[in-house]
Structure 1
Amino acid sequence: MAEISTVVVTRHSVTSLPGDVHVAQVTLNRPDKLNAWTGEMRARLVAALQEIGRDETCRAVVLTGAGRAFCAGQDLAETAAIDPDDHAAAEAWIDDFGLLFRTVRALDKPVIAAVNGVAAGSGFQFALLADLRIGHADVRMGQPEVLSGIPSITGIWAMSGILGRAKTAEFALTGRLVDGAEAQRLGLLSLLVDEDQVKAEALAEAARLAELPTGALALTKGRLRELDDAALDDAIDAAKKVHIAAYATGEPQREMARFLAGRRR
């Protein structure tokens, strides 16, 4: 049986522009796990995004998930296996996310997230890396990492520019998820549409942005990156220290084991 790719890239032509100009749709394709990702899946995603970044015929990118979720975040079955005494492995795990985040941010093309369901934890952070986010009323977005004993460190960085200090603290400390209407009110979603129109509207918006002057878009995105590049570097460094300290207590392992045991029942 042929392997089913966990990351699928689809090209959509921009008919208003000449030649093979297109929008790239990047779909997380692990729907039975709500597109929760593993290290292997993120590596495929990074490779796909880097290739898209080099493709001059691609003018915009849509990020989405297969099935009923955008991305539920880290697959806890993988994270639970991290040896608390192996600091190098813990740091490599954080660097893995740092590479993914920087790869998305490095794209000079407009990036739109078609949020088609749950976007939680690092999947929520991934959505927030997009320039625009389109979702529907029944989406569930938030940062529930503390519920699994995992400190929210890069999550604080990802949320703070949109939510501000007070709401960022609320999301990080309570782990609560919000629906589409509240997500739009808070600025987590740029646009709210019917559920069956999320991906179509994201592709349509990407096509509209693809028609704009590419140089101006790239330079504008470059300046936006400069505003918080240092803050991301600081968040990655802090996450390494904090996660090592958290795993040393044994709390993340206990909470993740409890969660996984409940899911198996």
Structure 2
Amino acid sequence: MTEFVLVETLGRIRRLTLNRPEKMNAWNTPMRDQLIAALEAAEADPQIGAIILTGAGDRAFGAGQDLAESKEFDADRAEAWMGEWKRLYNLFRMGSKPIVAALNGVAAGSAFQVALLCDLRVGHPGVKMGQPEINSGIATVTGSWIMREILGLARTIDLTLTGRMLDAEEALSFGLMSRLVPQDKVQDAALELAELLAGKPPVAMRLNRMRFAELTQEGFDETMSSGVRIQRQSYASGEPQKMMQAFLAAKAAKRA
């Protein structure tokens, strides 16, 4: 089986690396399933105190959904897709162990959302973050909820409707990045931060994370149920599939 998520244990730290560098670590179903399994294993391991999530290569933490997969979705598959995301997002929200994102390039779309679900984010000046889903004809549902929790409504509307990407300085000023370090220091800084968190009293850490989940639970539940309704409407219209096909065709033409 192809390893789409690499797993390393560094003392009390479990580092998980999204491993599709040739696709800028874009999500497909096997990679998402492997990340779910890796997070569940880390949560169950009493020797692990914190988790680092990063991406392979130096181009991207993650480019979001692999359009080559989702361009074939219909309304029923879009509904199942939302269920897959709910399972993954719940692991970030409900786990007892803190998670640090080590951002090594672009964090876009659902990868941007996953980065924001991590407790802290370390990046470098070349990082770009944002929610460009509208450019592919994909409605933003979970992204608007996550962004609003951190950014407020006005900035969430800006990023959702324009699809623009933030550079590292703007992301830092918005509170989307916790630490900004040179590119060659990202992994070391993330490890140092994860070790700091792993050294905190574990019961207090678990209860703090539980309380953050409680504070946002109502919004999360509403978002996931709305997501099923909205994505069914979106994919039933055929617009996302048409936009994705056009995007992939233009990309192929540039390579030719």
Q: CA deviation at 1:109?
A: 1.0
Q: Aligned letter for 1:8? A: L
Sequence identity (%): 46
Q: 1:11 aligns with which of 9, 12, 15?
A: 9
Q: Aligned letter for 1:64? A: T
SS of aligned partner of 1:187: coil
Q: Distance in 2 between matches of 1:53 and 1:245?
A: 36
Structure 1 partner of 2:64: 73
Q: Distance in 2 between matches of 1:101 and 1:245?
A: 22
Number of aligned residues: 252
SS of aligned partner of 2:86: helix
Q: CA deviation at 1:89?
A: 1.8
Q: What pairs up with 1:30-49 in 2 under 5 angstroms? A: 30-49=20-39
Structure 2: runs of 5+ lacking an equivalent: none
Q: Distance in 2 between matches of 1:248 and 1:57?
A: 46
> Given the alignment of the two structures, is residue 239 of structure 1 paired with residue 230 of structure 2, yes or no?
no
| C-alpha distance after superposition, 1:220-244 (max 9, x if no partner) | 1100000011211111111111111
Q: Aligned letter for 2:63? A: A
Q: TM-score if structure 2 supplies the norm length?
A: 0.96
Worse-superposed segment, 100-109 or 138-147: 100-109
Q: TM-score if structure 1 supplies the norm length?
A: 0.93
> Given the alignment of the two structures, is residue 116 of structure 1 paired with residue 104 of structure 2, yes or no?
yes
Q: What pairs up with 1:142-157 in 2 under 5 angstroms? A: 142-157=130-145
Q: Aligned letter for 1:118? A: V
Q: Distance in 2 between matches of 1:229 and 1:63?
A: 23
Q: Distance in 2 between matches of 1:81 and 1:200?
A: 40
Q: Aligned letter for 1:81? A: E
Q: CA deviation at 1:189?
A: 0.2
Structure 1 partner of 2:186: 198
Q: What pairs up with 1:57-136 in 2 under 5 angstroms? A: 57-67=47-57, 68-83=59-74, 87-136=75-124
Q: CA deviation at 1:39?
A: 1.0
Structure 2 partner of 1:16: none
Q: 2:173 aligns with which of 185, 209, 217?
A: 185
Q: 1:167 aligns with which of 144, 155, 176?
A: 155
| C-alpha distance after superposition, 1:24-64 (max 9, x if no partner) | 00100000000001111101110110011011100000000
SS of aligned partner of 1:58: coil
Q: CA deviation at 1:4?
A: 3.9
Cα root mean square deviation, aligned: 0.9
Q: CA deviation at 1:88?
A: 2.9
Q: Distance in 1 between matches of 2:24 and 2:95?
A: 25
Query: Runs of 4 or more off by more than 6 Å in structure 1?
Result: none
> Given the alignment of the two structures, is residue 230 of structure 1 paired with residue 218 of structure 2, yes or no?
yes
| C-alpha distance after superposition, 1:182-222 (max 9, x if no partner) | 10000000110001111110011101111111111110110
Q: Aligned letter for 1:238? A: S
| C-alpha distance after superposition, 1:100-120 (max 9, x if no partner) | 100121221111000110000
Q: Distance in 1 between matches of 2:240 and 2:22?
A: 24
Q: Aligned letter for 1:80? A: K
| Aligned 8 A contact 2:76 2:232 in 1 | no
SS of aligned partner of 2:194: helix
SS of aligned partner of 1:189: coil
